[in-house]
């Protein structure tokens, strides 16, 4: 397997199984549905040990669903780069085996869960943005009403009337932008 394919791997940790002195890791690629992609990276480490300098533990990466930026396997060492951390998780072991696999049913469920969570977050953001837009529209309406009242106190053709009409044009342009 090419080291380049490992380094370019982006995804998240879906399975972590530790038994005796062995560790099995399954990582699911964000590009799971790209044509010709084998999206699951399975790594088995026999006689493993974590580096003391790790900033984050694999259990936390899985629980928090942190994004994996890249994986490097060289000799008896695995480096897992986690988004937001400047040092990789380093695991040394006596023996390593790894390979890319197809999606399992649980992988599909995991992808669906992540997709639903992302959609829910985006929906909440959209609702919040709509509320802000409505608030701005209300403010614009209030300002238009105030300017219309003030404009009536200035006869047509005066400097004050002209300035208020310019302000109304600006507010109308702002309203048009809000509606697009």
127-156 residue pLDDT tens: 999 999 999 999 999 999 999 888 888 888
92-133 residue pLDDT tens: 999 999 988 888 888 888 778 878 888 999 999 999 999 999
pLDDT at 153: 87
Q: Which helix (H) or strand (E) holds 93?
A: none
C-alpha pair distances (Å), 175 with each of 34, 91, 148: 42, 57, 16
From the list 54, 104, 96, the residue with the least C-alpha distance to 75 is 96
CA–CA gap between residue 46 and residue 75 (Å, rounded): 13
SS3 83: coil
Please check the confidence at residue 162 and state whether its pLDDT lies above 80: yes
Q: Which token pair is 118?
A: 């992302």
Whose structure tokens read 């649980």? 106
Please state the rounded mean pLDDT for residues 6-29: 88
Spatial contact of 59 and 43, defined as CB atoms under 8 Å apart = no
Contacts of residue 148, defined as CB under 8 A and 6 or more positions apart, other chains included, come to 168
pLDDT at 101: 86
Contacts of residue 39, defined as CB under 8 A and 6 or more positions apart, other chains included, come to 11, 28, 29, 31, 32, 33, 100, 102, 103, 107
Q: pTM for the whole thing?
A: 0.64
Please check the confidence at residue 55 and state whether its pLDDT lies above 60: yes
**Which of 27-36, 53-62, 88-97, 105-114 has the highest mean predicted lDDT (pLDDT)?**
88-97
pLDDT at 89: 93
């Amino acid at each position: 397997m090419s080291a380049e394919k490992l380094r370019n791997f982006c995804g998240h940790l879906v399975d972590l199984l530790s038994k005796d002195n062995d560790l099995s890791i399954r990582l699911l690629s964000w590009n799971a549905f790209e044509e010709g992609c084998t999206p699951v990276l399975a790594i088995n480490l026999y006689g493993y040990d974590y580096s003391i300098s790790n900033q984050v533990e694999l259990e936390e990466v899985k629980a928090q669903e942190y994004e994996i930026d890249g994986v490097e396997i060289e000799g008896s060492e695995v480096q897992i780069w986690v988004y937001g951390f400047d040092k990789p998780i380093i695991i040394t072991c006596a023996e390593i085996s790894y390979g890319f696999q197809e999606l399992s049913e649980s992988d599909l469920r995991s992808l669906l869960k992540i997709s639903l969570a992302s959609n829910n977050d985006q929906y909440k953001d959209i609702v919040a943005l709509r509320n802000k837009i409505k608030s701005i529209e209300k403010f614009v309406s209030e300002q238009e009403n105030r300017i219309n009242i003030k404009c009536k106190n200035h006869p047509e053709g005066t400097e004050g009337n002209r300035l208020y009409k310019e302000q109304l044009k600006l507010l109308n342009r702002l309203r048009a932008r809000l509606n697009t």
